[in-house]
Amino acid sequence: MMRRLVLMALLCCWTAQGQQAVVTVVGEPENLQLVKDRLTTYQACLQENCYGPQMDRQIKLATDFLKQSAATAKYGEKLALVLDIDETSLSNWAVEQKDDYGYIPADSNACVAQHCGKALPGTLSLFKEAEKDGVKVFFITGRPETQRADTEANLKAEGYDAWEHLSLRAADHPKDQSVIEYKSGERVLIVKQGYRIVLNVGDQMSDLLGDPMAEHSVKLPNPFYFLP
C-alpha cells in the first residue's frame, strides 16, 4: 500500500522534460504559512463563506432567537443572554495579526491593559436588542479576575454600556477545571437566580457546552485560535 502511494506521488510530478521528478510527501499536513494566508484572506473577504458574512449570518439567527424568546415569554419571567467576550463581543484582531496568529501572553495582556478590543458590530447590535427587549446580559469570560477593571472599561468604551453581571476566572480556580466546567458553572449561578437563559453566544464550543445549556446556543466563527 505504502509503496503504491509513493509511486503515485512520484508519477504525479514527472516533468515534461522527462528525466526530472519531485517525490512529494504523502499525507503531509497543509503548510502553516499557507494556512495563515488563507485565514487572513478569510478574515477580510466579503463573499458568503468569509468571516464577516458568516458572523452576520450567525448574529441574525441569534437575534431572531432572542426576539422570539422575548416575545413569547410569560409575564414576570426573567430572561438572560450570555455572551463571551473575546472574539464574541470584542475583537482582538490587531494583536492576533501583530503576533502572526501566535499566542504571546505579554502582548495579549498588554492589549487588555490598553483596552485594545474592538466591538464586533453584530454582537453589539444583539446586546442593544437585549436591552430593548428587557433581557439581562451576563458576560462570562475566561479572562482572569485581575483584568476586571480593564475589561469593564474596554466594554463600556466600545458601547456595551450596562450588564447584569460579568464573570471572570478566579485566581484560585481549580487548575484542572476545563473551560466547559467553568462556564457552565457560571450558568448554574444564573439559573439559580431564577433566570431562563434563552441565548448563549460564543466563538468556541467550550463557551456553549455543559449543563445547563442555553435554550439556544449560537457559535460564531473563529478559526484563528482554539480553546478546548
Q: Are 148 and 168 in contact (CB under 8 A)?
A: yes
- Provide the pairing of β-strand 78-83 with 165-169: unpaired
**Residues within window 168-207 making contact with Mg ion, judged by CB under 5 A:** 203
- What φ, ψ does residue 68 adopt, rounded to 5°? -65, -40
Considering beta carbons, is residue 109 or 133 the nearer one to Mg ion?
Answer: 109
Q: Are 224 and 95 in contact (CB under 8 A)?
A: no
Nearest approach in angstroms of CB 83 to Mg ion is 10
Burial of 162 (0-12, 13-18, 19+ CB in 10 A): exposed
- Binding test (CB under 5 A) with Mg ion, winner from 58, 59, 79, 87: 87
d(C-alpha 216, C-alpha 209), whole Å = 11
**Using CB under 5 A, which of 86, 96, 158, 186 touches Mg ion?**
86
Interface characters, 121-160, with Mg ion (x: CB under 5 A): ----------------------------------------
The one-letter amino acid at 209: L
Q: Determine, following the binding rule CB under 5 A, whether residue 84 of this chain makes contact with Mg ion.
A: yes
Complex with Mg ion: residue 70 or 179, whichever CB lies closer: 179
Q: Nearer to Mg ion by C-beta: 87 or 186? A: 87
- Which residue has its beta carbon closest to Mg ion? 86
Residues in contact with Mg ion by CB under 5 A are: 84, 86-88, 203
